[in-house]
Structure 1
Amino acid sequence: MKDKEKNDQSNAASDIIDILAELIYTLVADTLVFSWKLISDSLSNNDGVKSLSLDNINDSTQSINSLALGYSTSQKKDLLFSDIDTGRHNLVVGASGFGKTTISENFIENDLRNHISVISFDPKGSTESIITLNSLCEFYGRKMYVFSEHYHTGDKFNLFKGLDTTQAVALIMRSFKWENGFYKTKSETALYQVIREVRERDEVLSFHTILKKLDEEEDKKSKEMIAGLISYLQGICFSSFGRLFDIKSNDEGYNISDIRGEGACLYIGLSTQGYGDIAKGIGKIFLCSLLFHSYEVLKERNSLNDKLLTNPISVHFDELGSILVEDFIDLKNKCREAKIRIYSYIQSLADIDAVSPFLKRQIFENSNNIFIQKQCSPDDVDFLSKSVSTIASKKLTKIIENGVEQNLGTTREAFQYVLHPSMFSRLKIGQCVLIRHDPKCVDIINVRYSKTSEALSTRKAPLTINDRVLIRETVDLYKSTQKTTNIDMFS
């Protein structure tokens, strides 16, 4: 009898242990499943980045908000300029005719609205571009200087002002390609001698005086060594651009610091179609001037530099490939502290590859905001898709028996493109993909068409009452849809 009771107690204890073991096993299994789900969901979330599809491209919703770049088709809301940290540099890649100019005009107007001076590099050098920018500057109360061979304002430019001899030599030497290192060294040596001589005699330092001194070289062999340099300077001085550099004293003419100190804007028309390598070389000269300006501002703290830092500037390089030099990355890496923000516009990645494949990667890594419009090159779209990166997702595999899908299968982690390479060729006019590094964002934007620029670009005279009415209509339209806006800046 006692043995039977002991057996019953033993069986009961065993049952309890089995139940507890099953509960513990179930709890551990559920915990592991829950933990894996959290990890999986975290991987799939990818900081909020989601895969984009044709539905996003086919969404044609437009923004009428004048404080927005456009409409986000993935977030289903306006993308405000305040959501984009443009101070961390910007890159726009887009085929001709797909809206780079619209993006540029939106950013330029937003910078002017926020009291940021603009420097615009325009390789087309069109009168319409000058009128549009000048009108925007006038509307927002900014003076504008014009560097253009056909738009006469009387402005002259002295890019040697404030430079030491080494910088003055570099300004010229970096502005065009040297195929032969020997002749490059000879030309550089000749420039050092001439510039030192001009300054020792307290003469005017300009492209014209440098050319005159080099041309006076009596030794025929020495002159042959620097024939390429002389020919290049002749191209500048004897072209229609020459009068813009023809100063009569070292105090005459403007440099970047002068223009920034006034809180003014600068249009640089390069007309590469009409002047080819000469126009591109002048563009590189201005680019190097910006690099030296950034250096001077950060070199020491004084009242002048402190004043310059209170006047931030944005620099827009349209068709950057025309004037791109490897020193550009130095400007981009270091100019943020000098309160300079860069906007670069190119038609394709080949524009950068032509200078250096390594430079392409550097420019992408140093641009926080990348706007990509229609691209068709297989190499380019593959690079861009990889730049956007991939996201984690779940891939379901089903078992098929005798041609019939079964309920059995497996689920595994897989990675897919956020934006498939084929999507870049399907972007429409006025659309772009926004890749933002921080905070991480991948989006498709329907870019807003600026009615302000449209109203101003057609005028040929100072702003009229009708011009202001057209612009006011844009403001009022936005004002009617928002409770609070920063409208006072339009007054």
Structure 2
Amino acid sequence: MSGLLEIIIVLIIGGVIYQMFFTTKDLKKYNPNENVAPEYDKDNYITPPKEKDSYTPEAPQGNKTPFGETLVTIDEEKELLKRTSILLGQDIKGFDDFFVSPKELNAMCLIVGATGAGKTECIKTLLEYALTNNHPIIIVDGKGDPKFPNEYKEMCDRYNRNFKLFCCEADKSLHYNPLRHGQYTELKDKLIDIFEWSEEYYKNQAERFLQGVFRVLLLSEAKELLGYEVIDLQILIKAFSIEVMENLVPQLDGKANFMLPILAEADVKAVNGYAGRLKTVAESELGELFVDTQDPNVIDLMESIENNDIVFFSLDSLKYSVYAQMLGRLIIADLKTVAPRFAGKDKQIYTVFDEFNVFASEIIVNLINKTRSYGFRNIMGTQELADMIINGDEKLLRQIWGNTNVKIALRQDVSASQEELSKGVGTQDLYKTTITKGKSGENQQMSDSLSATLEEELYYKARDFGELTIGEAIVFIKVPKFRHARIKIRMVS
């Protein structure tokens, strides 16, 4: 039996060797031209039977869209965003574009940046949308650096925008009349808070007399008798006197009899003291700039907003510290009076108050609170958050902080400002893992144990605000959706 098995094995091995080495094969190469696939016939196509409990998705509906067209849609959305929002810069980590919408700015904006951090360039970028879309812009610069208005005028010329400049150089400045518009109470409010008051009694006395004088000056009979068309600072000063009013009232045929009890109860010291303050302004080297010459170039904020002008007030707070403070407050009061005239007109009005701590007071907080519904986008800039702490009082800082939606923080050099901004952005919840080494078990072998705890952590540490380079900013927006980023500001020229 074993011999037969050996013979079979030898024959198999011999057969394999013969097939491998002593036979020839006719290898036929495949030619696709000679093998044509049958045409597809949907009527003759048999669908495999559906298995029990199987799922077959429905066929896609609608028109076919080539894959490449999806890129076009993305580009179109990005272009739409560029046309309707402000490209502020790019995220320094992912290089994603960071946009700010006009609607977000309508809830007001605060920019802080130490000297040389890039605050002025950031303001230019924020205003580019308004500049190119023919929206009115009012800029009040408390620093008074001539470089800013000169550069901005060049940008306005490039876009064919009407530019008006008021500055502390009489030969380069246009005239400005903040008293052209308003009822007598509105006009009184414009002027009463531009000065500081130490005693409420004298303020109340001056305020009552001032309101009465404006009421008289608005009478057509008074205009005809005194020979003026509009009230300006010079006209007011001439009339702001108890003696002048006592002589004028009887000549107005009873139309100004409301002034008689005011004259009878007026405090001469209070009236003369306020008159002296007004004369100090009018008799300065810049006093002539408040004369209304009726020239079309006289700055009239209501008219400029209607005409979509760009008005730049450059206030030299170094050379004229008291004057700059007074004028800044006057401009804000003028805007506050003008704002309600644009209710329901669907205008976007961009205002900038750079170095606003020069003229900061309750009046600027009122402007922020009350002009939003009239289409104002108020942008305030200062060097440090600490600049808004006046004589140790943080009231103004808290009011500005609580009433601004968009906050742009460039480099901050004061530690108190850094800490305030760090806390202001807020915190996030993070799970932190902890690995503990120890002995366990009967044999006391070394082992690792892992635990996780939920902790609150600041989005940005205080030092992050001090380490920002030129043109870098940390931006955070509260509404309509909280978002934040560390970005490189896009420069415009």
TM-score (norm 1): 0.70
Worse-matched range after superposition: 66-75 or 141-150: 66-75
- Match of residue 207 from structure 1: 233
Amino acid at match of 1:278: Y
Work out whether 1:442 is the aligned partner of 2:479: no
The correspondence for 1:393, drawn from 402, 406, 430, is 430
Please report how far the alpha carbon of residue 175 of structure 1 lies from its aligned counterpart in structure 2 after TM superposition.
Answer: 1.2
Are the equivalent residues in 2 in contact too, given 1:74–1:443 (CA < 8 A)?
no
Are the equivalent residues in 1 in contact too, given 2:175–2:297 (CA < 8 A)?
yes
Please report how far the alpha carbon of residue 151 of structure 1 lies from its aligned counterpart in structure 2 after TM superposition.
Answer: 5.9
The correspondence for 2:381, drawn from 341, 345, 358, is 345
Distance 1:83 1:424 in 2: 26
Distance 2:145 2:453 in 1: 57
Amino acid at match of 1:352: M
The correspondence for 1:417, drawn from 448, 458, 465, is 458
Q: Structure 1 residues 250, 137: closer, same or farther in 2, change over 3 A?
A: closer
Work out whether 1:319 is the aligned partner of 2:355: yes
The correspondence for 1:265, drawn from 293, 302, 310, is 310
- Match of residue 193 from structure 1: 212
Worse-matched range after superposition: 169-178 or 374-383: 374-383
Q: Structure 1 residues 154, 447: closer, same or farther in 2, change over 3 A?
A: closer
Q: How does 1:21-36 map to 2 (within 5 A)?
A: none
Query: What SS is found at the alignment partner of 2:486?
Result: strand
Please report how far the alpha carbon of residue 292 of structure 1 lies from its aligned counterpart in structure 2 after TM superposition.
Answer: 1.0
- Match of residue 470 from structure 2: 429
Please report how far the alpha carbon of residue 345 of structure 1 lies from its aligned counterpart in structure 2 after TM superposition.
Answer: 0.2
Please report how far the alpha carbon of residue 431 of structure 1 lies from its aligned counterpart in structure 2 after TM superposition.
Answer: 1.0
Amino acid at match of 2:468: L
Distance 2:457 2:210 in 1: 56
Quick one: percent identity of the two aligned structures?
Answer: 22
Please report how far the alpha carbon of residue 216 of structure 1 lies from its aligned counterpart in structure 2 after TM superposition.
Answer: 6.7
Worse-matched range after superposition: 434-443 or 148-157: 148-157
Q: Structure 1 residues 406, 100: closer, same or farther in 2, change over 3 A?
A: farther
User: CA offsets per residue over residues 393-448 of structure 1, 9 Å max, x none?
Assistant: 1122332449x995114211111111011211111221111011132112111112
Distance 2:151 2:380 in 1: 19
Q: How does 1:72-471 map to 2 (within 5 A)?
A: 72-80=91-99, 85-150=104-169, 152=171, 155-200=174-219, 201-202=222-223, 203=226, 204=228, 205-214=231-240, 217=243, 222-247=267-292, 253-298=298-343, 306=345, 309-310=346-347, 312-354=348-390, 357-401=394-438, 406-438=447-479, 439-450=481-492, 452=493
Please report how far the alpha carbon of residue 344 of structure 1 lies from its aligned counterpart in structure 2 after TM superposition.
Answer: 0.6
Distance 1:169 1:215 in 2: 15
User: CA offsets per residue over residues 266-296 of structure 1, 9 Å max, x none?
Assistant: 0111111111111211111110111111123
- Match of residue 483 from structure 1: none
Are the equivalent residues in 2 in contact too, given 1:94–1:348 (CA < 8 A)?
yes
Structure 1 unaligned spans of 5+: 1-65, 453-491
Q: Structure 1 residues 386, 136: closer, same or farther in 2, change over 3 A?
A: same
Amino acid at match of 2:321: G
User: CA offsets per residue over residues 54-83 of structure 1, 9 Å max, x none?
Assistant: xxxxxxxxxxxx973222124432324559
Structure 2 unaligned spans of 5+: 1-84, 245-262, 440-444
Equivalent residues, number = 375
Please report how far the alpha carbon of residue 84 of structure 1 lies from its aligned counterpart in structure 2 after TM superposition.
Answer: 8.3
More helix by share: 1
Distance 1:409 1:143 in 2: 67
Are the equivalent residues in 2 in contact too, given 1:398–1:406 (CA < 8 A)?
no
Amino acid at match of 1:288: A
Distance 1:411 1:419 in 2: 22
Please report how far the alpha carbon of residue 249 of structure 1 lies from its aligned counterpart in structure 2 after TM superposition.
Answer: 6.5
Are the equivalent residues in 2 in contact too, given 1:98–1:374 (CA < 8 A)?
yes
Query: What SS is found at the alignment partner of 1:85?
Result: helix
Amino acid at match of 1:72: D
Q: Structure 1 residues 390, 171: closer, same or farther in 2, change over 3 A?
A: same
Please report how far the alpha carbon of residue 213 of structure 1 lies from its aligned counterpart in structure 2 after TM superposition.
Answer: 3.0
Amino acid at match of 2:366: D
Amino acid at match of 2:135: I
Query: Computing the radius of gyration over CA atoms, which structure comes out larger, 1 or 2?
Result: 2
Are the equivalent residues in 2 in contact too, given 1:127–1:151 (CA < 8 A)?
no
Are the equivalent residues in 2 in contact too, given 1:431–1:444 (CA < 8 A)?
yes
Q: Structure 1 residues 227, 154: closer, same or farther in 2, change over 3 A?
A: same
What RMSD, in angstroms, separates the aligned Cα atoms of the two structures? Answer: 2.9
Are the equivalent residues in 2 in contact too, given 1:232–1:278 (CA < 8 A)?
no
Q: How does 1:60-75 map to 2 (within 5 A)?
A: 68-75=87-94
Query: What SS is found at the alignment partner of 1:274?
Result: coil
Amino acid at match of 2:311: L
Are the equivalent residues in 2 in contact too, given 1:374–1:427 (CA < 8 A)?
yes
The structure, 1 or 2, with the larger RCO (C-alpha pairs under 8 Å, 6+ apart) is 1
Query: What SS is found at the alignment partner of 1:415?
Result: strand
Are the equivalent residues in 1 in contact too, given 2:436–2:449 (CA < 8 A)?
yes
- Match of residue 53 from structure 2: none
Query: What SS is found at the alignment partner of 2:169?
Result: coil
Please report how far the alpha carbon of residue 357 of structure 1 lies from its aligned counterpart in structure 2 after TM superposition.
Answer: 2.5
Please report how far the alpha carbon of residue 252 of structure 1 lies from its aligned counterpart in structure 2 after TM superposition.
Answer: 9.4
